[in-house]
A and B are shown apart, each in its own frame.
Chain A
Amino acid sequence: MSILETVNLHQRFGEHVILSDVNLKIESSEVFVLIGPTGAGKTTLLRLLDLLDRPASGRVYFDGTDVTVSKSYRQTARRRMSFVQQKPLVFTMSVYDNIACGLRWRQENPETIRQKVVTVMQLVGMQDYRDRKAKTLSGGEMQRVALARALVTEPEVLLLDEPTANLDPISVSGVEETLAHTIAEKKTTIVMSTHDMAQGQRLADRIGVMVNGRLVQFGTPKEVFIAPQTREVAEFVGVENILPGIVSGRDSDLVTIDVNQNIIESISVYQPGEKVFVLIRPEDITLMLGPGLSSARNTFMGKIIKMISVEPLVRIEIDCGFPLLVLITRRSSEEMGLTIGKSVYCSLKASAIRVIKRW
């Protein structure tokens, strides 16, 4: 049975719709990562899951019980979960007292509290800060305290709202290590939001992509990364060439797609006449100076119109009758003597191109 489930969840603030029709099932011990751009509704969804807010309509089930109806059960359910917010927040007291709060509120005995707090302080690497006033810590340290405070109650479900959004890279890896340890040791169910696709890939069993208040795609990190199903998801997972076209021909699985009067070949299920988007990752394109022989199905000639250096890579915009963004190393770019205005050939395999329906 799912530990958390939402059915047709809607949320709005005034006239503004934040979430629409969210149906989600989180299995026990699963690590589910919500990804999506800022403002997509990830925080709103997490707040509903933690029962901090009530939905405009729809249901939230915790361990099979409808918590939108059962008021008495909300406190019980909440005590089986923990929520770490995006902004590191600590109470005006020592690090130790901060972490002990949840246990004290559950009226556990002092010796148990002491043991659990000490253990979790070691886990997040804050054992030397025991008596420090938590408010005097840095942002990264505060977030570690907040994480420890959430973990110490041994929640069945841990909800995290962009827990590393405001942290430096070292603190980020610290938080991720703690989470990885918790996942491995405690089998805690984790629902986490992030706008960092890479972080999602590192931690998630399953990813849900959220765009404009809707969950638009579910899947393993690999599925979402390789096979985005909508234009928004494609943009979010780093597919930078999204070209509108129409399927013009079909030979078994191989289709030809007309993009601005250029023909691109790909493998797809769509029929001639259907409107589609052609998705091409910039790193999948090979650049050549001459037309040369290649096994790739697609070769286009174009002119370089823009070059931006993002060490150690160069982003090159090429006009092939349609715009194409290519990513190559700076070394290759120098060796090939690429400059703005130069003619080049872009080649890419039919299998590297994904085609999705355009509505």
Chain B
Amino acid sequence: MISVSSCSIASAISIPLGSLVHFNRFRGKRPLISVIQTLYSVPTVVIGLFVFLMFSRAGPLGELKLLFTPAVMIIGQVALIIPLILGLIISALSGIDKAVAETAISLGATRFQMVMLILKEAKFAVLAAIIMGFGRAFSEVGLALMVGGNIRGFTRTLTTTISLETSKGDVELSIALGIILLMIALAINITLNRLQQR
């Protein structure tokens, strides 16, 4: 549930933001895209540390008392996967021939109508970007542990359970959960492939 929420929020931010970056010319666009792409592989614990510091009692957002709640995990995951979704959406949009946008404009589309058309043309690649983001949010463990605190029935996730159970020595449970995690990843992958083949 946490991953679904964070993925939805990240997508809702990334799609308009990605369109904005792609369809506008501005200074520093190339460097910005490079930065976004670099952040694809930012370690989860680095984001975890950052969010932890922001929300800890002494941090600037400590007043909100969100640390060790699902809410802060969602915030952390959103921060973690926005670069990935955003970057992939930008490259999805760049993959559409410029002539498509020009044709739309010359047929009388407004800028907004043109952007909607391009998003529609790139819909499978955009969807793939979202699923990739979901996969990263779903499978990460460092962030969930650091800011969620792995509280049973509250902020404990599949990955944090595996981590905990393994260190407790309950390897069987860990393996079982690992298999479940893999199955979910496989299901996502199959769906993704199906969509792209269409």
Contact = CB atoms under 8 A, between A and B. Distances in A.
Interface stretch (B64-72, B109-117, B143-151, B166-174): B109-117
Contact of B106 (A50, A87, A91, A93): A50
A75 B111 CA distance: 10
Nearest to A81: B106
Nearest to A93: B120
Interface in B63-106: 97, 99-100, 102-106
Of B99, B108, B113, B117, most buried by chain A (CB within 10 Å of CB) is: B108
Interface in A85-129: 85, 87, 89, 91-93, 101-102, 105-106
A82 interface: yes
Contacts of B103: 83, 85, 89, 91, 146
A101 B109 CA distance: 9
Interface residues of B, number: 16
A354 interface: no
Contacts of A87: 99
Given A89-B97, A89-B100, A91-B100, A105 B106 contact: no
B107 interface: yes
B121 interface: yes
A78 B121 contact: no
A163 B65 CA distance: 65
A139 B106 CA distance: 20
Contact of B121 (A50, A79, A92, A106): A92
Of A75, A91, A153, most buried by chain B (CB within 10 Å of CB) is: A91
Contact of B108 (A52, A89, A92, A102): A102
Contacts of A85: 99, 102-103
A151 to B, nearest CB: 11
B111 to A, nearest CB: 9
A126 B100 CA distance: 21
A106 B108 contact: yes
A91 B102 contact: no
Nearest to B122: A92
A99 B158 CA distance: 49
A50 B105 CA distance: 10
A146 B113 CA distance: 18
Nearest to B108: A79
Contacts of B120: 91-93
B144 to A, nearest CB: 38
A101 B107 CA distance: 8
Contact of A101 (B97, B99, B102, B104): B104
A214 interface: no
A105 B102 contact: no
A67 interface: no
A185 B167 CA distance: 82
Contact of A105 (B97, B100, B110): B110
A153 B107 contact: yes
A150 interface: yes
Contact of B113 (A50, A93, A105, A153): A105
Interface in A147-173: 149-150, 153
A221 B100 CA distance: 34
A91 B110 contact: no
Nearest to B112: A105
A89 B99 contact: yes
B108 A105 contact: yes
B107 A82 contact: yes
B126 to A, nearest CB: 13
Contacts of B121: 91-92
Nearest to A102: B107
Given A83-B106, A83-B107, A89-B97, 18 more contacts: A52-B102, A52-B105, A52-B106, A79-B108, A82-B107, A83-B103, A85-B99, A85-B103, A89-B100, A91-B100, A91-B121, A102-B108, A105-B107, A105-B110, A149-B107, A150-B107, A153-B107, A153-B108
Interface of A: 50, 52, 75, 78-79, 81-83, 85, 87, 89, 91-93, 101-102, 105-106, 146, 149-150, 153
9 contacts: A52-B105, A78-B106, A87-B99, A89-B97, A101-B109, A102-B108, A105-B104, A105-B107, A105-B108
Top 5 closest pairs, chain A to chain B, by CB: A83-B106, A79-B108, A102-B107, A105-B109, A105-B113
